[in-house]
Amino acid sequence: MAPAMSYKVDLSHLERDGGGSLTQQLVDRFAGAIEAGELAPGEKLPPTRALAAAASINHLTAARVYRRLAEEGYVTASVGRGTFVRSLAPAAAEERGDDWQAYVLPDRPSTYQEEMLSDAFRLPGEEGMISLATGFPSQRFHPAQEMADLSAQVFADEGGAALSYLPAPGLPALREGLADLGRRRGFATDAAEIIVTSGAQQAIDLTARALLGPRDVVAVESPTFTGSLLALRATGARVIGIPVDEDGLDVEALEQALARHEVRLCALQTTCQNPTGVDLSPERRLRLAELAVERNLFVMEDGAYSDLRFEGERPCPLRQAAPGHVIYVSSLSKVVGGGLRIGWIAARGPVHERLAMLKQSADFHTPTLVQHMAARYLDGDAYDRQLAKGLPYYRERRDALMAALERHLAGEYDAAVPRGGHHVWVTLRRPAEERTLYSEAVRNGVSFTPGGAVCAERRKRTSLRLSFSLVEPDELEEGVRRLARALREVRRRDRTATAAPLS
């Protein structure tokens, strides 16, 4: 008999002849011990073999006991870890706090990318920290008064309708407004193509879920935006990184991937790419559109930063060349404000229907009030005025960051001047251990987005995404100075470690 168990659950005097099934008797005893708090939430039960030996039953009966306890909600089984008590005895609940959740939640540790994304939202608020990790638009430019006036107007004109439900694809007036922007920019021609989403992130997530499942393959530009990587990975699909150079996604590398894998979706930003700030060249655009049509390949074109361009002509979206194959996603976040959560998808055909259904099951629709406000905001020149106000501000910060890099890190890095957006992609000429550099930088009072958090695969080179949109020019200077200090410290430690004699 296993003593470890006998003190918790009485396994003696089981009725072996005619006294009800052994399984049920054991289930009752375990359930009784759990309800009485003798077996605590989270406590590990003995392996089935130990139970079998202790209760003198066969192994299959022991397994059946645990299975039934799991079905009745008393225990939870975790492959490779064992069986744990699940239900919380009422008397013990307060003392034990929320520890039980760790045993009930499915096993899913957070990923490096998720941790970096949540750091990006958290660190800007920390005292003394200069955050080069976030590409949010500056609050200074949010059109707060205009939005306050618009919301008052919406309530005055719409009354209770401003708080009513809507069809999943969105408010007709907003879909019209976005189609109008789409005609001017080239990403859509008709309001019927538009589905209003809660930010571009939801548009990406819905697209990923509409197209991908666990055995599918998706090709994604790498580096890219962390939120895209997270949404694509969450589908369980295999994510293949395609390199990005000064002409955007390497379409030849994509062709090689298409020859090796049955790729269902290619995800990229064609303009002012986050994090590199580059555009997809016209030749590559053409070839990618041809490939999509030739190979029946879906393309997700993310235009989140496409309007935030500091110089050069705005290229036509890829969707114009292959509107049935390209699903265009974007939002008002980078120009007007991320907290508005107004994004959209432009797509047509059966995938549009599927996306609308997924939107409905995700959250029914994007909030009615903000859809009304956005429709009115787009119906006039407010958006263009907003953009005109923001561009010089961001350009000045981009230039300040590039200058600071030259002052403090000359000879150490390569970085293309971004044509637009909020970020500079910096690659160190000599690699450094990314996590060590990140921790050292945070210790020195500056944060950034480590390259590994935005890449689909492990890279030998060390890259950093530095975002300039939220930071004043003098703070950008100080941030880069701190970063250079952190890098020197990491290099110094590397040298010391290399020089240390082997013991």
* Chain residues in the site for ligand PLP (CB under 6 A): 135, 199-201, 225, 227, 269, 274, 302, 304-305, 331, 333, 338, 343
CB of 332 to ligand PLP, least distance (A): 7
Sole residue written with tokens 């998808």: 345
CB of 46 to ligand PLP, least distance (A): 48
Q: How many CB atoms lie within 10 A of CB 106?
A: 6
Name the residue type at position 495: R
Q: Which of 219, 409 has the CB closer to ligand PLP?
A: 219
Name the residue type at position 308: L
Q: Which of 46, 317 has the CB closer to ligand PLP?
A: 317
Residue nearest to ligand PLP (CB): 199
CB of 181 to ligand PLP, least distance (A): 15
CB 194 within 8 A of CB 182: yes
CA-derived radius of gyration, the chain: 28
Q: Which two tokens stand for residue 280?
A: 């997809």
CB of 163 to ligand PLP, least distance (A): 23
CB of 221 to ligand PLP, least distance (A): 10
Q: Which two tokens stand for residue 442?
A: 């945070």
CB 424 within 8 A of CB 310: no
Element (H, E) at 447: strand 446-450
Between CA 269 and CA 92 the distance in angstroms is: 53
Q: Which of 279, 440 has the CB closer to ligand PLP?
A: 279
Q: Which of 331, 368 has the CB closer to ligand PLP?
A: 331
DSSP state of 124: G
Q: Which of 304, 322 has the CB closer to ligand PLP?
A: 304
What does the CA dihedral 231, 235, 239, 245 come to, rounded to 10 degrees? -20
CB of 414 to ligand PLP, least distance (A): 22
Q: Which of 329, 432 has the CB closer to ligand PLP?
A: 329
CB of 305 to ligand PLP, least distance (A): 6
Between CA 380 and CA 344 the distance in angstroms is: 19
CB of 122 to ligand PLP, least distance (A): 15
Nearest to 451 by CA among 468, 427, 467: 427
Q: Which of 48, 224 has the CB closer to ligand PLP?
A: 224
Q: How many CA atoms lie within 13 A of 68 on its CB side?
A: 17
Between CA 45 and CA 76 the distance in angstroms is: 10
Q: Which of 275, 445 has the CB closer to ligand PLP?
A: 275
| 217-222/238-245 β-pairing | parallel
CB of 338 to ligand PLP, least distance (A): 4
Query: What are the distances in angstroms from CA 383 to CA 49, 151, 273, 362, 390?
Result: 68, 16, 21, 28, 11
Q: Which of 169, 421 has the CB closer to ligand PLP?
A: 421
* Percentages (nearest 5) of helix, strand, coil residues in the chain: 50, 15, 35
Q: Which of 51, 464 has the CB closer to ligand PLP?
A: 464
Sole residue written with tokens 């999509």: 292
CB 82 within 8 A of CB 44: yes
Beta bridge partners of 263: 217
CB of 4 to ligand PLP, least distance (A): 52
